[in-house]
Structure 1
Amino acid sequence: MKMRESDSIERRFELKYCSAEKLYGFLRNHLGDLVNMFPDVYKTIEVVEGQTFCAGSVVHFQYHLGDEVVSEKWLIKVVDDATKCIIFEAVEGDMLNYYKMLRAKMEAFNGRSNKIGESFGKWTVEFEKAYENVPKPKTHMDLFVEMSKAIDAYYLSNN
């Protein structure tokens, strides 16, 4: 049986307390603040190539993924303010032992009437397994969605 070249998983989640612009803006402008907000998860988030969190920059993340601490460098491939979309791609680190390619895309969408509670976010994780028995990167997806929901809840207490 031949492995597929690449695959993806996606998950959509409701924004209960903030707008699509606020979620996108936080990830675009305050990504490094996750270390202070969630010290049990994120140990390091720092730009190691480039000036800021922008397209073309490389960010070093050290964080808990399940029971292990992983260290990875992710290239910020796309930052699109018009569509509220950010795409990251793993370029170095622990996960590349399991995946030939690992890419994460976050999109934020407003509901029809643009009211809080109608907006939502969506993460898509695209991957290519290095070996056939490697699982889908569900733990990454869980981390991205839970972090996004926590950012959403942050706006409840800081409005």
Structure 2
Amino acid sequence: MAQIAKLETKAEITNPPAKVYDLLKYNLNKFVNLFPQVFKSIKLIEGEEGHAGNVKIVEYVIGKAMSAKVKTEEINDEERSMIMRVVEGEVLQLYPTFLCKISVSDGFVNWSIEFEKTKDSTPKPDAYAQVHSHVTKLMDLYLLTN
């Protein structure tokens, strides 16, 4: 059995943590307009926005156009954190386990990707970590003016 690995990214924010967390929790679909070069579509297909158990179809471009069915497994408002798992999509061909944990604190958004490689030669999902960092910076700038 392959081992679960972790890749972490910490990105600075200047907005209040609650404002950033609310955007991530309730308005992820805004990423399509904010980051059209990466996110092509984000559609809620099951459950309710902002609640654990919801499922979204995300169409995105990281190297190539892909899609993923993503389930929000956990939301912890006290810690301002969420856990989302990819349950279907191309990324699972390289990483049969792909889980993203997001936590927002004073001055930072912490992104953690837990993944399992299909084989030892499979590269780490560094491109996803880079996108998380870039998206956080642009999201922070957007929230400063909105």
- Tell whether 2:20 aligns with 1:23: yes
Query: Is this contact kept in 1: 2:9–2:110, CA < 8 A?
Result: yes
- After TM superposition, the structure 1 = structure 2 runs for residues 32-51 of structure 1, keeping only pairs within 5 Å, are 32-51=29-48
- Dislocated runs of 4+, deviation >4 Å: none
Structure 2 unmatched runs, 5+: none
Query: Which residue of 5, 9, 17 corresponds with 1:11?
Result: 9
- CA–CA distance in 1 between the matches of 2:145 and 2:48? 31
Deviations, residues 50-69 of structure 1 (Å, cap 9, x unaligned): 23242111111001102x01
- Percent identity between the two aligned chains: 31
Q: What's the C-alpha RMSD, in Å, of the aligned pairs?
A: 1.3
Task: Provide Cα deviations, 1:42-100, integer angstroms capped at 9, x if missing partner.
Answer: 1110112223242111111001102x011111110111111000111110000000011
The answer to whether the aligner puts 1:147 opposite 2:135 as a matched pair is yes
Superposed, which structure 2 residues align to 1:3-152 within 5 Å? Answer: 5-16=3-14, 18-66=15-63, 68-110=64-106, 119-152=107-140
User: What is the TM-score normalised by the length of structure 2?
Assistant: 0.94
Partner SS, residue 29 of structure 2: helix
CA distance in 1, matches of 2:33, 2:11: 23
The answer to whether the Cα contact below 8 Å between 1:24 and 1:84 also exists between their aligned partners in 2 is: yes
Distance in 1 between residues matched to 2:12 and 2:34, nearest whole Å: 21
Helix, strand or coil at the partner of 2:98: strand
State how far apart, in whole Å, the 2-side matches of 1:8 and 1:126 are: 4
How far is 1:4 from its partner?
5.2
Letter aligned with residue 10 of structure 1: E
Counterpart residue type for residue 15 of structure 1: I
SS in 2 for 1:56: coil
Q: What is the distance in 2 between the residues matched to 1:49 and 1:130?
A: 29
Deviation at 1:157, TM superposition (A): 2.5
Normalising by structure 1, we get a TM-score of 0.87
Unaligned runs of 5+ in 1: 111-118
